Amino acid sequence: MKKTVLPLLLLSLIFSLPFTSCVSKKKFSASEAKVNKLQGDSLKTHNLLNECNLQVKVLKNEKASLQVDKASLENENAMGQDNLKMLADKSKLTIEDQAMRLKKLENIIQSQRDLMNNLKNSISEALVNYESDELSIYQKDGNIYVSLQEKLLFKSGSDVVDPKGKEALKTLAQVLNTTKDINVVIEGHTDNVPIKTNQFNDNWDLSTARATTIVRILTKDNGFDETRITASGRGQFHPVQTNETEAGRAGNRRTEVILSPKLEELYKLLNQ
């Protein structure tokens, strides 16, 4: 009985060995595949982690750059606000300055207007005894014109002032000497009848000589400021009436005293 059992046990052991070997090899292969998969997954995860770390680094750099840009924009905005405030203050100041200049300009113009109106009234009162065909007084373009006819001042073709004319010029000078803020131009005018004498070559000469004579009477004889007066001869080229009639030609033979306000203060204000 014992002899029979032993062979059976050996035989059973021999047949069971291949099966055990086969099962262990399958388990090993499965484990190896699992390890390989885990290694692959680990590599993918590692690569993904590296990519994430790289993106995080890029985002940090972008964030830092954006923070720098933000700070720069905030500084620019602050500077812009300061500049706007400065411009607003400057604009406000400029408007105030312009308003002040305009007010000064208006005051100067009004002062000159009052000066000229008062001067015209004073001259009219001083020369009230002369006839309208001897002289006239009027305002034009901000100036005062005292137009003295030839019959009051000169004989025909002469630059010598008659006594009555000298008296009128003396009265005029007395008024002008009380006013310091005016300049004076003396303009001589003739009709269009040609003149040629030993003394005068043409109407230019005659009109200029007459104007110069009146300047001398106003300055040397009556003390008017020589630096504020000018003599000018305009011949027959600026008539105020027709030269076709004797009355018209008589009206053109005149000497005009043109009074203008001094504009230095006005020009100074405009040039500021």
Same domain, 208 and 255: yes
Same domain, 165 and 85: no
155 DSSP 8-state letter? -
Same domain, 79 and 139: no
Judge contact between 163 and 155, C-beta under 8 A: no
- Each residue of 3-16: b (16+ CB within 10 Å) or e? eeeeeeeeeeeeee
Same domain, 161 and 73: no
Look up the CATH number of the domain holding residue 205. Answer: 3.30.1330.60
Q: Which two tokens stand for residue 76?
A: 């620019």
Enclosing domain of residue 188: 127-270
Same domain, 138 and 195: yes
Same domain, 201 and 82: no
Specify the pLDDT at position 49: 80
pLDDT in tens, 86-101: 666 665 657 777 788 7
Residue 100 resides in a domain: no
Residue 181 resides in a domain: yes
Specify the pLDDT at position 147: 98
Indicate the residue among 89, 117, 143 that finishes a domain.
89
Same domain, 264 and 134: yes
Same domain, 80 and 154: no
Specify the pLDDT at position 253: 98
**Quick check: pTM over 0.85?**
no
List of residues 6+ apart from 105 with CB closer than 8 A: 266, 269, 270
Same domain, 45 and 153: no
Residue 115 resides in a domain: no
Same domain, 8 and 78: yes
Residues in the chain, how many? 272
The total domain count for the chain is: 2
Specify the pLDDT at position 243: 97
Specify the pLDDT at position 2: 46
Residue 67 resides in a domain: yes
Nearest to 189 by CA among 270, 252, 147: 252
Residue ranges in the chain whose pLDDT is less than 50: 1-3, 17
Residue 112 resides in a domain: no
Quote the CA–CA distance of 242 and 11 in Å, as a whole number. 166
Judge contact between 148 and 256, C-beta under 8 A: yes
pLDDT in tens, 153-171: 999 999 999 999 999 999 9
Quote the CA–CA distance of 47 and 138 in Å, as a whole number. 106
Quote the CA–CA distance of 238 and 154 in Å, as a whole number. 19
- DSSP labels, 213-247: HHHHIIIIIT---GGGEEEEE-TTSS-SS-SSSHH
Same domain, 83 and 207: no
Same domain, 134 and 243: yes
